């Protein structure tokens, strides 16, 4: 694992506190993000394979912005074939920014060079300039207000 234990503990403790469970488990090597898999409202984490602890926040963002009635089906054949939609992806990215801000993490922990289709630096620049793409979605989901963002009213849709 390429991470410091204190950072990982901060992220996991935060996620558990907002009712997104993180469970250590050995996973197959073909997961979408190394060492992580979502099933329902739970993130399974394989510490032997996890490369970037910030990926936990991105995956949690997917759980958080998914409608409560659909959340139990994440990672199963019962989830909609178009999950996550492009809108869900944008909302999850911005949610992970808000979580990083809440935890006072350097943005490159979440938006690391190994992810985001090589757009991580661009995302950092956008968010640092307060260009919050996806903010209307998070507002529509009743997670925040544009006046107070990146402070969240609630963390789960």
Sorted by sequence, the CB contacts under 8 Å of residue 113 that are 6+ apart come out as 120, 121
Give the pLDDT band of residue 3 (cuts 50, 70, 90). low
Alpha-carbon span 6 to 141, nearest angstrom? 32
Cis omega (within 30 of 0) on the bond before 42? no
Instruction: Read off the tokens for 103.
Output: 């935890």
Token code pair at residue 34: 């190394």
pLDDT tens digits for range 99-145: 999 999 999 999 998 888 889 999 999 999 999 999 999 999 999 99
Segment 27-86, tens digit of pLDDT? 988 888 889 999 999 999 999 999 999 999 999 999 999 999 999 999 999 999 999 999
> Which has the closest alpha carbon to 60: 112, 4, 109, 99?
99
pTM for this one?
Answer: 0.93
């Amino acid at each position: 694992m390429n991470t410091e234990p204190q950072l990982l503990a901060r992220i996991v403790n935060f996620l558990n506190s907002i009712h997104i469970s993180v469970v250590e488990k050995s996973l197959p090597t073909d997961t979408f993000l190394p060492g992580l898999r979502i099933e329902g409202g739970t993130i399974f984490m394989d510490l032997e394979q996890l490369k970037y602890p910030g990926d936990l926040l991105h995956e949690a963002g997917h759980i958080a912005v998914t409608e409560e009635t659909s959340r139990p089906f994440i990672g199963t054949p019962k989830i909609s074939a178009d999950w996550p939609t492009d809108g869900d992806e944008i909302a999850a990215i911005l949610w992970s920014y808000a979580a990083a801000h809440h935890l006072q993490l350097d943005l490159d922990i979440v938006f690391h060079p190994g992810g985001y289709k090589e757009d991580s630096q661009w995302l950092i620049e956008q968010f640092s300039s307060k260009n919050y793409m996806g903010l209307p979605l998070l507002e529509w989901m009743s997670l925040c207000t544009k006046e107070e963002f990146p402070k969240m009213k609630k963390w789960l849709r």
